[in-house]
Amino acid sequence: MKVAQKQVDISLCPHLSEESIEILEAASRPPIRLVSIGNHNKIEVGNETVLFRHEKTFYHQPGLVVRIKDTQPLDYAIQLANEVTNYSVDRVGLELRLNGFALANESQNTEKFCKLIKAAVDSTDLPLILVSAEPAIMNLALEEAAQHRPLIYAATKDNWQDMAQLALNYHCPLVVSEPQGLGQLAELSKLVSQKGVEDIILDPGVLDSSNSVDTLTQLRRLAINKSYRPLGYPIITFPCDGTSSIEE
């Protein structure tokens, strides 16, 4: 009873078989997995149990990160990294800060990408997201940054096996990205999970505001109300890619 009520840890029950422990642990897991990005000033997302805050509470606020592309001048990237790291706003007694950086391999050039990563690592201790669709480039990028536990972006239907293996090799969380629908996203998430990756973040690939709200709401309902494990992970979005002007 105490295990069911989450009053004691299941490891304190010596008479349970390994199979029983696995079943009980799976049943007692939060509907959305807790995933950590980074080592210092880490971003923690997930572990939520309700759709609405008034039902209980939200445990982790979403991380806000700034994207830097490796096609931008390196001096600008370093300056931006320093500014973002030191930026803060005081609001009703709370200090609000930006939480990290998404470093994008826009150039498709390994050397440029690795230089950007090294500059970011030297300039900030905020968490990093490494953005590249090429497993070979991502492998070299992780050699530069794996000790900082960055988020790998992303595993797709075309590269998921290689990206999942990199996540396992370097012990880093991994984004699973599939814009063709939640069914396809769930199937890809299952494949990555079956390969052994546990720390997964989902990208449904929706860009415009109206579709984003609908899709993210469906994701949350399936995870929390239906306990649908293939979609029981935190979500990442890139709202900047869905805008058509600076004002938006």
Q: Are 90 and 84 in contact (CB under 8 A)?
A: no
* 26: pLDDT strictly greater than 90: no
Tokens, residue 85: 């790291």
**60 and 18, same domain (yes or no):** no
Are 21 and 83 within one domain?
A: no
Residue 94 lies in a domain: yes
Residues in the chain: 248
Of 243 and 146, more confident: 146
Q: Which residue has the higher pLDDT, 38 or 21?
A: 38
With CA atoms as reference, report the closest residue to 153 among 40, 60, 235: 235
Res. 25 pLDDT band, cuts 50 70 90:
low
- Please give the average per-residue pLDDT across 178-206, as a whole number: 97
Specify the 3-state DSSP secondary structure of 79: helix
Are 78 and 120 in a shared domain?
yes
Give yes or no: residues 170 and 53 share one domain: yes
Whether residue 194 contacts residue 161, with contact meaning beta carbons closer than 8 Å, is answered with no
**The two three-digit tokens of residue 52, written as one number:** 């609405």
Q: Read off the pTM.
A: 0.89
As given in the structure block, the two tokens for residue 223 are 């995870």
Q: Where are the beta strands (DSSP E) in 50-208?
A: 65-69, 89-91, 94-96, 100-104, 128-131, 151-155, 174-177, 200-203
Question: Quick check: is 248 in a domain?
Answer: no
Domain count, the chain: 2
The CATH number of the domain holding residue 95 is 3.20.20.20
Q: Give me the domain span that covers residue 214.
A: 31-242
Shared domain for 98 and 190, answered yes or no, is yes
Q: What is the pLDDT of residues 81-116, one digit of tens each?
A: 999 999 999 988 889 999 999 999 999 999 999 999
Residue 14: pLDDT band by 50, 70, 90 thresholds?
confident
**Same-domain check for residues 233 and 164:** yes
Q: Percent of the chain, pLDDT > 90?
A: 75
- The whole-angstrom separation of Cα 46 and Cα 30 is 9
Give domain status of residue 247, yes or no.
Answer: no
